[in-house]
Amino acid sequence: MTLRKYRQADWEEPLIFELGREDRVGFDVPSLEPELIDAVADITEFVPSGMLRTKPAGLPEVSEIEVLRHFIHLSQMNYGVSSGIIYPLGSCTMKYNPVVNEVLAGHPKMTEVHPEQDESSVQGMLEFLYKLKSGFLEVTGMDDGTLQPAAGAHGEYTGILLIRAYHQNHGELDSRTEIIIPDSAHGTNPASAIMAGYKTVEVPSNEDGGVDLGALKSVVGPQTAGLMLTNPNTLGIFDENIAEIAAIIHEVGGLMYYDGANLNAVMGKCRPGDMGFDVVHVNLHKTFSTPHGGGGPGSGPVGVKALLADYLPVPDIVESDGIYSLSYDKPKTIGKVHGYHGNTNVMLKAYTYMLSLGGEGLKEASELAVLNSNYVAYKLKELRGLSLPFGEGKWRMHEAVLSAAEMEADTGVRALNVSKKLLDYGIHAPTTYFPLIVPEALMVEPTETEPIEALDEFIEAVKEISELAYSDPEEVMNAPKNTTIGKLDEAKAAHPKTICLSWRTYCTMAP
Amino acid sequence: MEKPHPYLPNSAPDVKEKMMDDIGIKSIDELYSDVPEELLYTGTLDIPGPYTEWEVRREVSGILEKNTSLLCPPFLGGGVWPHYVPVVVDEIIHRAEFLTSYTPYQPEITQGMLQVIFEYQSLLCELVGMEVGNASMYDWASALGEAARMTSRLTRKSTFLVPSIISPSRLAVLKSYAEPAGIKTVQVDYDKTTGLLDVEDLKENMDDDTAGVYIENPSYLGFIEENVEDIAEVAHDSKALFVVGVDPISLGLIKPPGEYGADLVIGEGQPLGNHMNYGGPLLGLFACKSDPKMIRQMPGRLIGLTEALDRPKRGFTMTLQTREQHIRRKKATSNICSNQALCAAAGAVYLSLMGPQGMKELSEVVASRARYAIRRINNLPGVRAPIFSSFHFKEFTVRFSGITVEEVNRGLLDRQLHGGKSLVNEFPDLDETALYCVTELHTKKDIDLLVSSLAEVLEG
Residue A207: its pLDDT value, please? 86
For residue A504, is it within any domain? no
For residue A7, is it within any domain? no
Interchain contact, B332 vs A187, CB within 8 Å: yes
- In angstroms, the separation between the Cα of residue B393 and the nearest Cα of chain A is 9
- ipTM, two decimals, is 0.97
Residue B17: its pLDDT value, please? 96
Q: Please list the residues that pair with B266 across neighbouring strands.
A: B245, B286
Interchain contact, B281 vs A128, CB within 8 Å: no
Please tell me the distance from the alpha carbon of residue B324 to that of residue B332, in angstroms, as a whole number. 5
* Mean pLDDT, residues B28-41 taken together: 96
Q: Element (H or E) spanning A401, and its range?
A: strand A400-403
Q: Are B295 and B132 in contact (CB under 8 A)?
A: yes
Chain A positions in Cβ-Cβ contact with residue B393 (cut-off 8 Å): none
Please tell me the distance from the alpha carbon of residue A429 to that of residue A90, in angstroms, as a whole number. 9
- In angstroms, the separation between the Cα of residue B113 and the nearest Cα of chain A is 6
Taking only residues 189 to 218 of chain B, the set having a beta carbon closer than 8 angstroms to any beta carbon of chain A reads none
Our measurement of the distance from residue A170's CA atom to the centroid of its chain's CA atoms, rounded to an integer in Å, reads 33
> What per-residue string of b and e applies to A17-38 under the rule 16 or more CB within 10 Å gives b?
bebbeeeebbbebeebeeebee
Query: Measured between CB atoms, does B341 come within 8 Å of chain A?
Result: yes
> Which chain B residue lies closest to A346 (C-alpha atoms)?
B281
Interchain contact, A485 vs B113, CB within 8 Å: no
Residue B15: its pLDDT value, please? 96
Query: Measured between CB atoms, does B320 come within 8 Å of chain A?
Result: yes
- In angstroms, the separation between the Cα of residue B253 and the nearest Cα of chain A is 5
Query: Measured between CB atoms, does B428 come within 8 Å of chain A?
Result: no
Question: Which residue of B47, B90, B182 is in closest CB contact with A135?
Answer: B47
Q: Are B200 and B228 in contact (CB under 8 A)?
A: no
**Is the pLDDT confidence value at A204 over 80?**
yes
For residue A16, is it within any domain? no
Q: Are B194 and B221 in contact (CB under 8 A)?
A: no
**SS3 track for A235-289:** CCCCCCCHHHHHHHHHHCCCEEEEEECCHHHCCCCECHHHHCCCEEEECCCCCCC
pLDDT in tens, B97-139: 999 999 999 999 999 999 999 999 999 999 999 999 999 999 9
The domain of A175 spans: 86-483
Please tell me the distance from the alpha carbon of residue A67 to that of residue A60, in angstroms, as a whole number. 10
Chain A positions in Cβ-Cβ contact with residue B180 (cut-off 8 Å): 161, 164, 195-197
Total domains in the fold of chain A: 1
Please tell me the distance from the alpha carbon of residue A231 to that of residue A415, in angstroms, as a whole number. 25
B3 confidence band (pLDDT: 50, 70, 90) = confident
- In angstroms, the separation between the Cα of residue A198 and the nearest Cα of chain B is 9
Amino acid symbol at A323: I
Amino acid symbol at B122: S
Provide the percentage of residues in chain A whose pLDDT is more than 70.
100
Residue B72: its pLDDT value, please? 97
Q: Element (H or E) spanning A226, and its range?
A: strand A224-229
Sign of the CA dihedral with A228 first, then A234, A238, and A241 last: negative
Residue B2: its pLDDT value, please? 77
Closest CA to A268 of B439, B404, B43: B43
Number of Cα atoms under 13 Å in the Cβ half of residue A370: 31
Interchain contact, A364 vs B1, CB within 8 Å: yes
Interchain contact, B309 vs A26, CB within 8 Å: no
**Which residues contact residue A81 at a Cβ distance below 8 angstroms, ignoring those fewer than 6 apart?**
A87, A94, A95, A96, A97, A291, B96, B100, B101
* Mean pLDDT, residues B333-354 taken together: 95
- In angstroms, the separation between the Cα of residue B203 and the nearest Cα of chain A is 22
Interchain contact, B100 vs A110, CB within 8 Å: no
Closest CA to A292 of B123, B143, B105, B59: B105
pLDDT in tens, B168-198: 999 999 999 999 999 999 999 999 999 999 9
Provide the percentage of residues in chain B whose pLDDT is more than 90.
95
Residue A282: its pLDDT value, please? 97
Pairing of strands A178-182, A199-203: parallel
Q: Are A510 and A453 in contact (CB under 8 A)?
A: no
Helix (H, G, I), strand (E, B), or coil: what is residue A43? helix
Question: How many beta-carbon pairs under 8 angstroms link A with B?
Answer: 723
> Which chain B residue lies closest to A431 (C-alpha atoms)?
B105
Interchain contact, A188 vs B47, CB within 8 Å: no
**Multiple choice CATH, B356-459, 3.30.230.10, 3.10.180.10, 3.30.70.270, 3.90.1150.10:** 3.90.1150.10
Interchain contact, B329 vs A71, CB within 8 Å: no
Question: Which residue of A345, A367, A452 is in closest CB contact with B277?
Answer: A345
Here the CATH number for the domain that contains residue A384 is 3.40.640.10
Query: pTM higher than 0.95 for the full model?
Result: yes
| A95, A242, A271, A340, best to mutate vs chain B, most B CBs in 10 Å | A340
Judged on CB neighbours under 10 Å (0-12, 13-18, 19+), B401 is exposed
Q: Are B141 and B170 in contact (CB under 8 A)?
A: yes
Rg of chain B, C-alpha, whole Å: 26
**Which residues contact residue B178 at a Cβ distance below 8 angstroms, ignoring those fewer than 6 apart?**
B145, B148, B149, B160, B184, B185
Q: Are A403 and A396 in contact (CB under 8 A)?
A: no
Residue B321: its pLDDT value, please? 87
Tell me the CA distances in angstroms from A180 to A123, A185, A248, B208, one per residue in order.
Answer: 42, 10, 12, 36
Sign of the CA dihedral with A467 first, then A468, A471, and A477 last: negative
Rg of chain A, C-alpha, whole Å: 26
Our measurement of the distance from residue B338's CA atom to the centroid of its chain's CA atoms, rounded to an integer in Å, reads 15
Tell me the CA distances in angstroms from B441 to A394, B202, B435, one per residue in order.
Answer: 60, 37, 17
Query: Measured between CB atoms, does B78 come within 8 Å of chain A?
Result: yes
Strands of A441-444's sheet, edge to edge? A400-403, A441-444, A431-432
**SS3 track for chain B:** CCCCCCCCHHHCHHHHHHHHHHHCCCCHHHHHCCCCHHHECCCCCCCCCCCCHHHHHHHHHHHHCCCCCCCCCCCCCCCCCCCCCCHHHHHHHCCHHHHCCCCCCCHHHCHHHHHHHHHHHHHHHHHHCCCEECCCECCHHHHHHHHHHHHHHHHCCCEEEEECCCCHHHHHHHHHHHHHHCCEEEEECECCCCCCECHHHHHHHCCCCEEEEEEEECCCCCECCCCHHHHHHHHHHCCCEEEEEECHHHHHCECCHHHHCCCEEEEECCCCCCCCHHHCCCCEEEEECCCHHHHHCCCCCCEEEEEECCCCCEEEEECCHHHCHHHHHHHCCCCCCCCCHHHHHHHHHHHHHHHHHHHHHHHHHHHHHHHHHHHHHHCCCCEECCCCCCCECCEEEEEECCCCHHHHHHHHHHCCCCCCEECCCCCHHHCCEEEEECCCCCCHHHHHHHHHHHHHHHHC
**Which residues contact residue B201 at a Cβ distance below 8 angstroms, ignoring those fewer than 6 apart?**
B188, B189
> What per-residue string of b and e applies to B261-290 under the rule 16 or more CB within 10 Å gives b?
bbbbbbbbbbbbbbbbbbbbbbbbbbbbbb
* Mean pLDDT, residues B15-31 taken together: 97
- In angstroms, the separation between the Cα of residue A461 and the nearest Cα of chain B is 17
Chain B positions in Cβ-Cβ contact with residue A441 (cut-off 8 Å): none
Please tell me the distance from the alpha carbon of residue A349 to that of residue A96, in angstroms, as a whole number. 12
Helix, strand, coil distribution of chain A in percent, nearest 5: 40, 10, 50
Helix (H, G, I), strand (E, B), or coil: what is residue A23? coil
Tell me the CA distances in angstroms from A373 to A207, A236, A282, A473, one per residue in order.
Answer: 21, 9, 21, 27
Residue A511: its pLDDT value, please? 65
Please tell me the distance from the alpha carbon of residue A334 to that of residue B128, in angstroms, as a whole number. 33
CATH number of B87-351: 3.40.640.10
pLDDT in tens, A55-82: 999 999 999 999 999 999 999 999 999 9
**Which residues contact residue B57 at a Cβ distance below 8 angstroms, ignoring those fewer than 6 apart?**
A100, A103, A104
* Mean pLDDT, residues A270-292 taken together: 98
Taking only residues 347 to 376 of chain B, the set having a beta carbon closer than 8 angstroms to any beta carbon of chain A reads 348-349, 351-362, 364-365, 367-369, 371-372, 375
pLDDT in tens, A323-366: 999 999 999 999 999 999 999 999 999 999 999 999 999 999 99
**Is the pLDDT confidence value at B333 over 90?**
no
Question: Which residue of B8, B276, B359 is in closest CB contact with A111?
Answer: B276
Chain B positions in Cβ-Cβ contact with residue A243 (cut-off 8 Å): 36, 38-39
* Mean pLDDT, residues A475-495 taken together: 96
For chain B, what are the domain ranges? 9-64, 87-351, 356-459
Pairing of strands A323-327, A431-432: unpaired
Q: Element (H or E) spanning A422, and its range?
A: helix A415-423
pLDDT in tens, B260-317: 999 999 999 999 999 999 999 999 999 999 999 999 999 999 999 999 999 999 999 9
Please tell me the distance from the alpha carbon of residue A194 to that of residue B296, in angstroms, as a whole number. 18
Reading phi first (left if > 0) and then psi (alpha if -120 to 50, else beta), residue B65 is in alpha
**Which residues contact residue A56 at a Cβ distance below 8 angstroms, ignoring those fewer than 6 apart?**
B252, B356, B357, B359, B360
Packed helices A344-380 and B53-64: angle between N→C axes, nearest 10 degrees: 150
Interchain contact, B88 vs A275, CB within 8 Å: no
Residue B1: its pLDDT value, please? 75
**Which residues contact residue B193 at a Cβ distance below 8 angstroms, ignoring those fewer than 6 apart?**
B388, B389
Interchain contact, A294 vs B82, CB within 8 Å: no
**Is the pLDDT confidence value at A510 over 80?**
no
Chain B positions in Cβ-Cβ contact with residue A293 (cut-off 8 Å): 93, 98-99, 101, 341-343, 345
